[in-house]
Amino acid sequence: MINKIIKNKFSIFWIIIILIISFNYLSFNYFIKSFINLEKQENNKVLNSLMTFIDTKFKTIKITANDYSYWDDTYEFIKDQNEKYIYENFRDTTTTLENVNLDFMIFMNLENKNIHTQLSKNIKTLNKDNFTKYIVDSITDDENISIAKYQNNYYYIVKSRILKSDLSGKTRGFIYVGKKIYLENFNDEFKNSIKFIDIVSNKTNKTLKSIFLDKVEVHFVYSEDILSNIISLQNNNKNLAMLKLDNYRDIYKQGRKQIILFNTAVSIFVLILFFIFYFYIYYHKRLNIELEIRVEDEIKKQKAQEEILIHQSRSAEIGEMINNIAHQWRQPLNNLSLTIQNIGFKYENDVLTKEELNETIDKSKMIINSMSNTIDTFRNFFEPTKNKNLFKVEHSIENTLEILSSTLRFYNIEVVKEIIDDVEIYDYENEFSQVLLNIITNARDALVSNKIEKPIIKVNVSKIENNVIVKIKDNANGINEEIIDRIFEPYFTTKGKGNGTGIGLYMSKLIIEKNMNGKLTVKNDNDGAVFIITLNITKQEI
């Protein structure tokens, strides 16, 4: 028996190879079907969610359209075209469209005459007459919905008849309302790549249900890495738009990988059994050497995998730190809230003046812009492409104090400015303002927490040789000497759980010392803490 095996070893080997190949082929085709079906199910879920998303948009717009088209004031406006209606709803200082999340409203009478067109700030640069004509011509039925493309942008459109609120009387005209379609909203919702395309597909693999659209047809296009859904949005036998939704074939690829790994493991196992059986008789020692080499290779692979996991863990920790930066919004939001409460109180007591209203609006815009700049500052923090600009240090201090003025007044905190030298530097103005905001905010919190009777924050600006020195001092009794050396460490906070993350001063030190090549230090004075910012005065880039 053994002699026959030895004599026919090559024949037996090739028979085993053929069996392994057959096994791999049959098992792959059998198991891959389950993963393909699972991939289809997940893809169908995404498609159904997409249609729900689109239907929800149409539903919201239609509700708003009905609110205006069945409003008695609108019904009378179409007839007498009074300016009062336009003034109350669409004057320049109003945000009617933004409040109802729309980008345009078009009022037409039965003679197809444009009574009024209102565009939101998002599309105000468009030619109003051309845009109005295009939108009106895109819908021919008395009451319908549509999607239209104008100047490379797509818009949801809802058309509704203008009637009395009790639906009595004859139709006096039509209202067209809609919103620009932003693809980034789709991508945020589905985490997929989605875009509009101009190619019309005549093939259909699936039909989706829609509340507002007559027909939605989908054609699947498979590639190695991506399942592309070519989606045709149709209404009234008219193709409104074509969408391409790409789903990465992660399920299919993972399934294929698992099957290949399984088949490979089985194949290797069978071959190992064969070689073990054969070489056990003749090459027992050689077999042991080969096994030792394999074990060594597996250990190296395991170590490499562990290094990858460590790297991923570190990346996750960095991502967690960046997410914590979002707490910086809390301070300006609180300032904005107090500003709004103040104007409401004055309005209720009939002491609100136009000058105070305009001042409050400007202050709110400044806070909002500061919040936006904060996002950009931290998002671009490690990018080398940020631009420097020439700015006055006093101007940055004034802007920062203006943002915090409402809360400082609320807590009766006196701010003393000592601008000894009005210095102009060439550096990162937004990041410098963020550092000022962090330090002054911490000083305010310390004064409030320690219940100082006469709280004071002093800001001193001076010039020493080629450096500008900014000192920010409070009278909040200073920082505990045991922890003063740690306050610039990440996640170190003295505010207690839930009141701080310890990221503000850490980021401030990085901004001053890494980005602006300066120095940020802290020390205790007689009655409080003093933060010292030192920056080089540079008038131009070197």
337 in the same domain as 244:
no
Show the domain range for 374: 329-536
Residue-averaged pLDDT of the chain: 81
Does the pLDDT at position 5 exceed 80?
A: no
Q: What is the pLDDT of residue 320?
A: 34
Look at residue 347 in the predicted model and tell me its pLDDT: 81
Domain boundary among 215, 233, 248: 248
Contacts of 389 (CB under 8 A, 6+ apart): 426, 427, 428, 429
pLDDT tens figures, 209-264? 988 888 899 998 888 888 888 889 988 888 888 888 888 888 888 888 888 888 88
What does the pLDDT look like over 425-457, one tens digit per residue? 888 888 888 889 889 988 998 899 888 889 999
Per-residue 3-state assignment (H helix, E strand, C coil) for 298-343 = HHHHHHHHHHHHHHHHHHHHHHHHHHHHHHHHHHHHHHHHHHHHHH
State how far the Cα of 469 lies from the Cα of 483, in Å rounded to an integer: 24
Residue after which a domain boundary falls, among 198, 228, 248 = 248
In a domain, 56, yes or no: yes
Q: Are residues 388 and 525 in the same domain?
A: yes
Of 60, 51, 61, which Cα lies nearest the Cα of 233? 51
| Residue 211 sits in the same domain as residue 352 | no
Domain shared by 242 and 358, yes or no: no
- The pLDDT, as a whole number, for residue 20 is 84
Band (158; pLDDT cuts 50, 70, 90): very high
Per-residue model confidence as pLDDT tens digits over 339-370: 888 888 778 887 778 888 888 888 888 878 87
Per-residue model confidence (pLDDT) at position 1: 53
What pLDDT, on a 0 to 100 scale, did the predictor assign at position 384?
A: 42
Question: Average pLDDT of 135-163?
Answer: 87
* Angle separating helix axes 393-410 and 330-348, nearest 10 degrees: 60
Residues contacting 144, CB < 8 A, separation 6+: 159, 235, 236
- Same domain for 225 and 364? no
The pLDDT of residue 143: 60
Write the CATH number for 239. Answer: 3.30.450.220
Q: Is 502 a residue whose pLDDT tops 70?
A: no
Question: 290 falls in which pLDDT band (50, 70, 90)?
Answer: confident
In a domain, 9, yes or no: no
What is the Cα–Cα distance from 45 to 93, expressed in whole angstroms?
A: 43
Residue 207 in any domain: the answer is yes
Residue 24 lies in a domain: no
Same domain, 97 and 221: yes
Here the CATH number for the domain that contains residue 402 is: 3.30.565.10
| Helix intervals (H) in 70-157 | 72-80, 83-90, 96-99, 128-137
pLDDT at 468 over 60: yes
User: How large is the average pLDDT for residues 467-472?
Assistant: 93
**Mean pLDDT of the region 78-95:** 86
Give mean pLDDT, residues 174-184: 89
Final residue of a domain: which of 215, 248, 281? 248
* H-only helix segments in 349-489: 354-379, 393-410, 429-449
Neighbours of 462 (CB within 10 A): 14
Q: Do 218 and 337 lie in a common domain?
A: no
3-state class of 380 per DSSP?
coil
User: Are residue 222 and residue 338 in the same domain, yes or no?
Assistant: no
In this prediction the pTM is 0.46
Higher pLDDT, 123 or 370: 123
Q: Is-contact 421 491, C-beta < 8 A?
A: no
Q: Say what angle helices 83-90 and 72-80 make with each other, to 10 degrees.
A: 130
Residue 356 lies in a domain: yes
Three-class SS state of 468? strand
pLDDT at 542: 44
pLDDT at res. 379: 53
Task: Work out the pLDDT band at 272, boundaries 50, 70, 90.
Answer: confident
Collapsed DSSP state (helix, strand, coil) of residue 119: strand
pLDDT of residue 103: 93
Please tell me the predicted confidence (pLDDT) of residue 190: 63
If asked whether residues 105 and 238 sit together in one domain, one would say: yes
Q: Is residue 318 part of a domain?
A: no
Counted domains in the chain:
2
Q: Are 506 and 489 in contact (CB under 8 A)?
A: yes
Instruction: Evaluate whether residue 32 is within a structural domain.
Output: no
**pLDDT(135) > 80:** yes
For the cut 90, the answer to whether the pLDDT of residue 493 exceeds it is: no
pLDDT tens per residue, range 306-338: 354 334 333 433 443 344 344 456 667 777 788
For residue 83, tell me if it sits in a domain.
yes
